[in-house]
Copies of this chain bind each other. A is one copy, B any other.
Amino acid sequence: MPDVIDLDDPSDVRLTDYVALRDSSLRKHLEAERGLFIAEGEKVIRRAIEAGYRPRSFMLAPRWLDSLRDVVGDAPVYRVSEATAEAVSGFHVHRGALASLYRETRHTMADLLAMRRLMVCEEIVDHTNVGAILRNAAGLGWDGVLLAPRCADPLYRRAIKTSMGAVFSLPWARLDDWRTAVPTLQRAGFTVVALALRDDAVDVADFAARVEPAQRLAVLLGTEGAGLSTRWIDQADVAVRIPMRAGIDSLNVAAASAIAGYALGRPTAPATLAP
C-alpha cells in the first residue's frame, strides 16, 4: 500500500528533487549531488523500475496514482495538483507523473569491452541526440553504447524520454579516458570504424559487405557540428561514410547512427545463405 501524501506548497522540501526541471545546469548539480535522476511519464517510470532502479519518491497528479500503484513499492508518493507540479518543475507536466530514482552505475567500460557491437559517442552534448542514439542502438540490436566524458548524461530527463527507456535496458558506460579510448578498443579486439564525411572514407555499404558476423565492431560517432576529432579518425582502423547528395549538410548524428546501426549491426551474408 503506497504511502500517499497530499502536498500543495511548491516550496515543500519534500519536492526538492523535482525543482526547475528545465534548468539543465541546475539539474546537473542537483542530480549529481543527490545521486538521483528523474523519469517522466507512466511508461518510462515503469520501465525504470522494472529495470531495477529504486525510486526515491513520486510526484503524481491525482489521476496517475492508480496506473502506477503496482510499482511504487515503499517510496513516498507526493500527490499534487497539476498547478503545483508546474510550479515546482517549471513546466506543464503533460504526462502528469514524475519519479525520482537513485542513480546507479550499472556497467563499466570493461563490461562493454566484452561485447560484440558497440556505438561510441565522442562529444554528443545534446540530450536528445544521446537518447536517440541509445534508442537506435537498442532497436537495431547493438550490444551497448560507450560515451566519452563530455557527452550529455543519458539519465537526464530528456535523454531518457527520447530513448523511450532504452537507457534502462541497453548497457552503456562512460569511457575512462578520451585519449586512449580507440587503442583500448583495438586491444580488446574491436575493429574501430569512424563515421566521417572524408573524401577518402569507404562507402558504408562496401565496408558492411566485408564485415564478418562474429567480428567485433565499434562505430565512432562525433558531434554534429564539427564531427569526430582528427585524433579519433586517425586512430580508427577505417573511416566510412554515408553517401550524401552534394551540397547538403551532413545528417543529424542520430540519423547517422540509425543508418550505421542498420548497415553494420547485423550479419550481411547474402539472403540466400540466411536461415
Contacts and interface: CB of A to CB of B under 8 A. Distances in A.
Interface of A: 132, 135-136, 138-141, 162, 164, 166, 169, 205-206, 209, 242-245, 248-252, 254-256, 258-259, 262-263, 266, 271
Contact of A248 (B132, B139, B254): B139
12 contacts: A132-B252, A132-B255, A135-B249, A136-B251, A136-B255, A139-B251, A141-B243, A141-B245, A209-B271, A254-B255, A258-B258, A259-B259
Given A255-B254, A258-B258, A245 B139 contact: yes
A141 B247 CA distance: 11
Contact of A258 (B162, B166, B249, B255): B255
Nearest to A203: B271
Nearest to A209: B271
Given A139-B251, A164-B249, A205 B271 contact: yes
B242 A262 contact: yes
Nearest to A138: B248
Pairs of residues from A and B, 3 with the lowest C-beta to C-beta distance, nearest first? A255-B258, A141-B245, A259-B262
Stoichiometry, copies per complex = 2
A241 to B, nearest CB: 12
Nearest to A245: B141
A243 B140 CA distance: 7
A274 to B, nearest CB: 9
A252 B135 contact: yes
Contacts of A169: 248
Nearest to A142: B245
B266 A243 contact: yes
Nearest to A261: B259
Q: Considering residues A162, A164, A248, A256, which has the most beta carbons from chain B within 10 angstroms of its beta carbon? A: A248
A140 B244 contact: yes
Contacts of A259: 258-259, 262
B206 A251 contact: no
Contacts of A132: 252, 255
